[in-house]
Amino acid sequence: MSTTAPDTRSPGSLDGFFQISQRGSTLARELRGGLATFFTMAYIVVLNPLIIGTVPDGTGELLAGGDLAVIAACTALVAGVLSVLMGVVANYPLALATGLGLNAFVAYGIASLDGMTWADAMGLVVLEGIIILVLVLTGFREAVFRAVPTQLKTAISVGIGLFITIIGLVDAGIVRRPASGPVPVELGVGGFLAGWPTVVFLVGLFAIAALMALRVQGAILYGIVGGTLLAILVEAVFEIGPQAPDGSNPTGWGLGVPALPDSVVAAPDFSLLGQFSLLGSVEAIGFTALFLLVFTLMLADFFDTMGTMVAVGAEAGLLDEEGNPPRTRQILVVDSIGAIAGGAGGVSSNTSYIESASGVGEGARTGLASVVTGVLFLLTTFLSPLVAIVPHEAATPALVVVGFLMMQQVVGIDWDDLEIAFPAFLTIVFMPFTYSITAGIGAGFVTWVLLKVVRGKAKQVHPLMWLVAVLFLVYFGIDPIRGLLGV
C-alpha cells in the first residue's frame, strides 16, 4: 500500500484544473477573492431593477410589469451563470453582471423610443452580443478596436458617467424641474433641499464616499443597505408616504415606500427569461436607427471589456510581454455570450466588471474566484424580495458614485488638442444635457470626422468611422429628410 500523498496539483485536481499553485495563489486566497468580488458587485442585483424596471417602454409598459423582484432574480441568475462560465472556460478572476451604463442606455436610449417594447430592446442586446461574438471568433475585433480613437472611447465612458449621475440626482429629487420660472432645473424643492428622503440620500452618498476613502470593500453595497435601513426607520417614525402624481407631497418618497418585507427568502421567479424579440425593433424604428443603436451598444460593451480584462490582469500580474492576458480569446467569447445571455434573460447586456480587481486585491489569481462569485450570485436569487423595499433615495447614491468613478477617466483626454478635445467635450456634455447616450456618441463622432476633414487629415479617418458618421448625420436629420422625401 502506497503512503505517497496524492498530487493535489494534478490536472484532475482543483489545484491542477485552475492552476492555483502555478499562479502563486492558494485555495484560501481564491475563496477570499471570490467573496470580495461578490460583495463589491452585489449592488447590481438591487440597482439593475431600479434602473430598467422603472422606465416605461415606447408603449408605456414596464419591464416584467414593474415587478422588481423578478428582475432582481433574473439579474442574479444570469450574473451567476456567466461568472461560473468565465471561471471554468477562461480560468480568469473576472466576474460578470449587468453592465451599468449599458442598462441605462437600454432603458432610456432604446426601450423608451416611440413604438419600442422591452422585448424589442432586449432583442437588440442579443443581436449586439451575436455580432461581437462573430467579431471575436473571426478575429475582426482588432478592426473594430482600431476604428474608434481611444480618446473618443474614453469620452463615451465619461459621458455615460455623467448621464448616470443626472439620473441618480433626478430620481433622488435632488435635481427637479421647477414649477415655474425660466430655468429648466433647480435644486430640490424651490431651490432648497427638503424632506427626509433627501436626508437619506445625502447620508447614503457620504457614507459610501467615506467607506471608499477608508478602502472598505463593498462600500457601495453597504451604502445601499444602510440607506435602506435608515429609510425604513424614517418612514416608520414620520410616516412620510409617497410623492403624489398630482405634485402634492413633493418631499415624499420618489418610488416605493420603504417598509420591512413580509418575507426575506422566496422561490425565485424567472419568468423574464426568454422575453426578447430579435428583430421586432426593425418595424418600430427602422433599419438605420437599429444599426446605430446596435453599433452604440457594441462600442460601449466591446471596449469596456478590453479595458477591464487588461486592468484586472495587470493588477494580478497575469499579462504577457505584449500586455495580453492568458486565454484572451476565451475571455472575450464568454463576455460576448454575456451580452447575448443578458438580452435573452431580459436584464440587459452582461459584461466583465472592473470590481473584480477587489478580488485580485485579496489574492485571487484564477477562475476559481469567479466560480465562487458566481455561486454566491446564484444563491442571491432566493433573496429577491429584499429588492422591493429599497427606495430610490437609498439606491441612487450608488449611481452618483459610479458616475464619479467613470468621470475619473477624463484625464485620459488631451484637452490641448482641439481635434480630439472638442469632439470629446460634445460627447460628454450631450449625454446628460440631451438625456441621450446615442446623441452624445453621434455628436462626438460627426465632429471628429469633420475636424479631420477641415485640417486636411481625411486619410486618417477609418472607413468604419466614415460610415458611422454618415449614418449619424442621417439619424440626426431624419425628420427633415422625411419631409424632403414626403415620407
Note the pLDDT tens digit of each residue in 277-296: 998 888 888 887 888 788 77
CA–CA distances in Å: residue 272 to residues 43, 92, 102, 166, 391 = 20, 29, 19, 28, 22
Lowest mean pLDDT among 117-131, 234-248, 407-421: 234-248
* Angle (deg, nearest 10), helices 118-138 and 328-344: 160
Gap between the Cα atoms of 190 and 415, Å rounded:
37
Cβ burial, residue 459 (10 Å; 0-12/13-18/19+): exposed
Overall average pLDDT of the 301-330 stretch: 76
The DSSP code sequence of 5-16 is PP-TTSTTSHHH
Higher pLDDT, 189 or 75: 75
Note the pLDDT tens digit of each residue in 163-204: 878 888 988 889 988 877 788 889 988 888 889 999 999 999
Residue whose C-alpha cell reads 445625502 in the numeric block: 202
Gap between the Cα atoms of 285 and 204, Å rounded:
39
User: Is the pLDDT score of 8 beyond 50?
Assistant: no
Overall average pLDDT of the 452-471 stretch: 89
Gap between the Cα atoms of 424 and 441, Å rounded:
9
Closest C-alpha to 57, from 280, 256, 252, 298: 280
What whole-number percentage of the chain has pLDDT above 90? 41
User: Is the pLDDT score of 416 beyond 90?
Assistant: yes
Confidence of residue 7 (pLDDT cuts 50, 70, 90): very low
Grid cell listed for 69: 423582484
Gap between the Cα atoms of 175 and 442, Å rounded:
26
Gap between the Cα atoms of 340 and 51, Å rounded:
19
Confidence of residue 323 (pLDDT cuts 50, 70, 90): low
Grid cell listed for 66: 414593474
User: Is the pLDDT score of 1 beyond 60?
Assistant: no
Overall average pLDDT of the 25-53 stretch: 86
Q: Which amino acid is at 131?
A: I
What local confidence, expressed as pLDDT, does residue 415 receive? 96
Grid cell listed for 4: 505517497
Q: Is there a contact between 168 and 403 (Cβ–Cβ < 8 Å)?
A: yes
Residue whose C-alpha cell reads 465562487 in the numeric block: 372
User: Is the pLDDT score of 252 beyond 80?
Assistant: yes
Secondary structure (3-state) at 106:
helix
Overall average pLDDT of the 154-161 stretch: 81
Between the two ends of the chain, the Cα-to-Cα distance in Å is 87
Entry pTM: 0.71
Overall average pLDDT of the 334-342 stretch: 94
Closest C-alpha to 175, from 480, 403, 482: 403
Note the pLDDT tens digit of each residue in 121-155: 999 999 999 998 998 888 776 566 567 787 887 88
Q: Express the helix, strand and coil content of the chain in percent, nearest 5 each.
A: 65, 5, 30
Q: What average pLDDT is seen over the chain?
A: 86
Strand 350-352 and strand 96-98: the pairing is antiparallel
